Every structure is written in C-alpha cells, then in structure tokens.
Amino acid sequence: MGLFDWDMGTGALAADATVCAIFGLSPDEYDGRASTLAARVHPADRPAFRAAARAVIRDGRVLDQCLRIPETGGGHRTIELWGRVPTADGGQAQAHLVGGVLDLGTGTGGPGHCV
C-alpha cells in the first residue's frame, strides 16, 4: 500500500515510491502534481474520480473508490483509493486529503467493483 498527502489548495501531491509504482511511474518521473496521477487513470473512470474528488473537497467526505490504471501492453490494474480530509483542533477541516492506494491486481474488477 502506498501513501499520499494532497494539498488541495496548490494541487501538489506528495506520494511515496509505492504510489508512484502503482501509477506506472518511478519517483524520479513523478512531478508532484495530482493532475499527473489523475491522467493515468482509465479514461472511463476519470469522470467518477473527479466527481468523488470534488465531493471530498466540497463536503469533507471520505474518499473510497476503485479505479483502473491502464497497462502499457494492454489490460489494466485495479486500484483502491482511500482518503480523508483531516480536521485541526477545533474541528476545522484542513486543505489536505491524506490517504492510501492499494494495488488489487491485473484485470480485476472495474470502477466501483473492488474485490
């Protein structure tokens, strides 16, 4: 499982080496932008992913979503993405989404179909 911290104000996303590998990048190739990882999501899954991300930002919901990541030779990997907006002392939501990404494997499931 890989971990990330997304600064929703700037779009910067700190991701560990496991997150990079799950999205098909080496840490040296990753530029630290959330949009770079989002571009690697299967095109059919992007609208639901964007809607879920907007809901988290707007409402402070917990993000729990399955997505497909296309593979170079065809097929895809299914990932499960979890995240939440932490609150500061006093209950004020912060402008960060922290979470994890789990690689569920090749060709399993599809959007909304985690194993």
**Is 93 a residue whose pLDDT tops 70?**
no
What are the φ/ψ torsions at residue 67 (nearest 5 degrees)? Answer: -140, 160
Pair of tokens at residue 93: 């939501």
- CATH number for the domain spanning 36: value is 3.30.450.20
Q: Is residue 111 part of a domain?
A: no
Q: Is residue 79 part of a domain?
A: yes
Per DSSP, the three-state class of 22 is: helix
Q: Is residue 115 part of a domain?
A: no
Contact predicate 1/14, CB 8 Å: no
Number of domains in the chain: 1
Domain that holds residue 81: 2-106
2-44 pLDDT per residue, tens: 999 998 888 899 999 999 999 999 999 999 999 999 999 999 9
Contact predicate 67/45, CB 8 Å: yes
Q: Is residue 112 part of a domain?
A: no
71 alpha carbon, distance to own chain's centre: 17
67-77 pLDDT per residue, tens: 999 998 888 99
Q: Is residue 62 part of a domain?
A: yes
Contact predicate 68/110, CB 8 Å: yes
